[in-house]
Amino acid sequence: MLIKQKGIIIKTVDYGESDKIITILNEFGAKVPLMVRKAKKSKSGLQANTQLFVYGLFIYSKWKGMGTLSSVDVIDQHYHLRLDIYESSFASLCAETIDRSLESNEVSQYSYELLHFVLDKIKNGISAQLMSVVVLLKCMTRFGFNAIFDKCVITDDNDQSKLIGYSFKFDGAISQNVSYQDPHALILSNKTLYLLDILQKLPISQMSSLSIHAEIVDEMSQLVILLYKEYAGMYFKSQKLINQLHRLDNLS
């Protein structure tokens, strides 16, 4: 049975000496694993077209179990992500988060729309790190937790101007006057908490313009990754490269 579906490659795994297994998130929001024969042979024509982030029309055969890729009509290779390791690492974090948020047989049209959205934004010059924050915020509930950024969790005061950090002890933002109750709270810019609240609540369809200072994005990224580690016990594979890049930045 020959199937044609648009999709985006969200995962690639080498298989043997010349083959690989790719996972596409298809246009309906389902994950589809596909065997790619001789993918690592340059003469096959599939080497470049089965890279992470490739968006195209995938033609594959499937009877039972895993399908086998026949060809790809590429719509967008997102080639720019191969030229910037920093952007690529955060785009990988986006793909990994969406991949892990879906069960193997689950269908989520929103997940496909979210991935499409962030890759288009990155292509148009929006920070991939900021886009990873958006994905992590939008996928939180799929991992069984949420975060409170819009009020003090101790006093229930919704005056956001008083917020100065995030407390893992009390599971939410805390204000200055009660910060002594958690000396280990992560101190953050008030603007960071305010923008996290906006990005958490704002539908992606309304995120037309996104311009946030790099230092604020760093703080947001640090917090949301810690939230996943603390509440979902998750450590992302792409995080290893991100940490290495941060260490190199600090050394320079």
89 and 56 together in one domain: no
The closest of 109, 27, 24 to 67, measured between CA atoms, is 24
Give dist(CA 163, CA 190) in Å, integer. 6
204 and 247 together in one domain: yes
120 and 230 together in one domain: yes
pLDDT tens for 1-11 read: 899 999 999 99
Given phi > 0 = left and psi -120 to 50 = alpha, else beta, which region is 251?
A: alpha
pLDDT band with cut points at 50, 70 and 90 for residue 196: very high
Number of domains in the chain: 2
pLDDT tens for 35-92 read: 998 887 756 568 888 999 999 999 999 887 889 999 999 999 998 888 888 899 999 9
pLDDT at 63: 81
Residue 54 lies in a domain: yes
- The answer to whether residues 217 and 131 touch, using CB atoms and an 8 Å cutoff, is no
Residue 176 lies in a domain: no
Residue 168 lies in a domain: no
pTM of the model: 0.91
133 and 201 together in one domain: yes
206 and 234 together in one domain: yes
102 and 60 together in one domain: no
86 and 135 together in one domain: yes
> What CATH number has the domain bearing residue 112?
1.20.1440
pLDDT band with cut points at 50, 70 and 90 for residue 230: very high
In the chain, where does DSSP find H-type helix? 80-83, 85-101, 109-123, 128-139, 190-201, 214-232, 237-251
pLDDT tens for 90-134 read: 999 999 999 999 998 999 999 999 999 999 999 999 999 999 999
Last residue of a domain, one of 23, 56, 76: 76
Last residue of a domain, one of 76, 105, 135: 76
Q: Which domain holds residue 212?
A: 80-146+188-251
Residues making up the chain, counted from first to last:
252
247 and 210 together in one domain: yes
> What CATH number has the domain bearing residue 27?
2.40.50.140
Give dist(CA 111, CA 73) in Å, integer. 22
- The answer to whether residues 20 and 65 touch, using CB atoms and an 8 Å cutoff, is no
Strand order in the sheet with 172-175: 172-175, 163-167, 186-187
14 and 65 together in one domain: yes
